[in-house]
């Protein structure tokens, strides 16, 4: 079978016109007569013409490509953010190239190169868990490519970012537990070097201070906050002398919280009667467990949309003159049975 890949030149020849005229007709230029335009567009349809964006991009210097770099797209959070990004980007005429770092800095570095080589007009990134510095993003700056971080970032000056107010979220949820009567609230904390986990921990500590509750190191357990980590954390907490046991738990991740819940049940303890629980992220399954789990919603779609919006602003202004900006979205506390006393 002869593969039918019509070019502008082909159509120009067929219609006895010049390439420029055909190009203009296809792009609805005003300076083209209605008759020529319709003739061209008619033929394009007949021949099933598809423009070669590669060629157009090379010529115009505009690829209409937007690079997105996430740790992974499994799980609710990033999948939803990416969905928000995709929606907004498409609306603005951009195609999205998605790369996953698999939580590995080396992967992340390679992905950055891939995106640069693909001539993306902007890069939206959420850092991998193993990223401790961001030197590999310098070349993005050097090339004048708009760079926007979302959710996971390092606290460098002068970066564009869209983040959830993790501090506020943690503060609210901890306050809620205190108001429900908890006096010894444990915390399953995530890796310190990531802003989101550090902020959640700070918010938790701040709420304790506000209510005059003592901070207790034995109640703060750091891990990668997976389901297994949550289970292990709870085991550790239950091993404390009875007087030191927590009466409430705030987990920096819903996954870890489920692990903790399962361990509690295995020990014959009940929620919320024996311990109040609250998590973070509002994963879909927080409504599927028993009891349903209180959590903090991260407004994933909005986060994605705001990230694209910020990118578009930078693109319009130009990286050289754009004043770096950080957008902080307020979180939504969702109270469910796991944290309601009585």
Of residues 94 and 167, the one with the C-beta less far from DNA: 94
Instruction: Return d(Cα 247, Cα 294) in angstroms, integer.
Output: 15
Of residues 27 and 244, the one with the C-beta less far from DNA: 27
Instruction: Return d(Cα 201, Cα 182) in angstroms, integer.
Output: 17
- Please identify which residue in 2, 4, 16, 142 interacts with DNA, judged by CB under 7 A: 16
- Please identify which residue in 14, 36, 110, 206 interacts with DNA, judged by CB under 7 A: 36
Which value, in Å, is the radius of gyration of the alpha carbons in the chain? 26
Instruction: Return d(Cα 189, Cα 224) in angstroms, integer.
Output: 8
| Minimum distance from residue 166 beta carbon to a second copy (Å) | 22
Question: Does the protein bind a second copy through residue 258 (CB under 8 A)?
Answer: yes
328 CB contacts (<8 Å, ≥6 apart)? 163, 164, 165
- Please identify which residue in 9, 92, 118, 317 interacts with a second copy, judged by CB under 8 A: 118
Q: What does the longest C-alpha to C-alpha distance in the chain come to?
A: 91
| Minimum distance from residue 219 beta carbon to a second copy (Å) | 25
What part of residues 51-70 is at the interface with DNA (CB under 7 A)?
Answer: 51-52, 55-56, 58-61
Instruction: State both tokens at 249.
Output: 């738990």
Question: Does the protein bind a second copy through residue 234 (CB under 8 A)?
Answer: no
Instruction: Return d(Cα 265, Cα 26) in angstroms, integer.
Output: 66
For 101-126, the DSSP string reads -TT-HHHHHHHHHHHHHTT-S-EEE-
What part of residues 270-299 is at the interface with a second copy (CB under 8 A)?
Answer: 284-285, 288-290
Region near a second copy per CB under 8 A, out of 69-77, 148-156, 188-196, 211-219: 69-77
Question: Does the protein bind DNA through residue 9 (CB under 7 A)?
Answer: yes
Binding-site string for a second copy from residue 151 to residue 190, where x marks contact by CB under 8 A and - marks none: ----------------------------------------
Of residues 31 and 323, the one with the C-beta less far from DNA: 31
């Amino acid at each position: 079978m002869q593969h039918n890949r019509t070019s502008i030149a082909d159509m120009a020849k067929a219609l006895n016109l010049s390439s420029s005229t055909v190009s203009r007709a296809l792009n609805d230029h005003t300076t083209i007569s209605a008759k020529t335009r319709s003739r061209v567009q008619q033929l394009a349809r007949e021949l099933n013409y598809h423009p070669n964006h590669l060629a157009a991009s090379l010529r115009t210097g505009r690829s209409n490509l937007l690079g997105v770099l996430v740790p992974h797209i499994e799980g609710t959070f990033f999948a939803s953010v990416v969905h928000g990004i995709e929606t907004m980007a498409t609306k603005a005429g951009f195609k999205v190239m998605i790369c996953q770092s698999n939580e590995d800095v080396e992967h992340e570095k390679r992905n950055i190169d891939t995106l640069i080589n693909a001539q993306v007009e902007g890069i939206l990134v959420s850092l991998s868990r193993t990223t401790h510095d961001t030197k590999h993003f310098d070349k993005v700056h050097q090339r004048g490519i708009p760079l926007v971080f979302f959710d996971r970032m390092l606290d460098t000056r002068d970066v564009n970012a869209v983040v959830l107010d993790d501090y506020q979220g943690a503060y609210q949820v901890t306050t809620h537990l205190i108001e429900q009567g908890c006096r010894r609230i444990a915390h399953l904390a995530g890796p310190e070097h990531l802003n989101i986990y550090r902020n959640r921990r700070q918010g938790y500590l701040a709420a304790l201070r506000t209510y005059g509750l003592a901070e207790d190191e034995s109640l703060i357990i750091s891990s990668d906050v997976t389901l297994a980590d949550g289970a292990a954390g709870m085991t550790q907490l239950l091993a404390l002398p009875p007087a030191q046991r927590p009466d409430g738990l705030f987990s920096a991740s819903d996954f870890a919280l489920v692990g903790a819940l399962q361990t509690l049940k295995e020990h014959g303890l009940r929620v919320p009667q024996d311990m109040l629980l609250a998590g973070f992220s509002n994963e879909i399954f927080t409504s599927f467990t028993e009891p349903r789990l209180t959590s903090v919603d991260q407004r994933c779609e909005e986060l994605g949309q705001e990230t694209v919006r910020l990118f578009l602003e930078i693109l319009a202004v130009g990286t050289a003159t754009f004043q770096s900006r950080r957008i902080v979205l307020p979180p939504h506390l969702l109270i469910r049975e796991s944290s309601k006393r009585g």
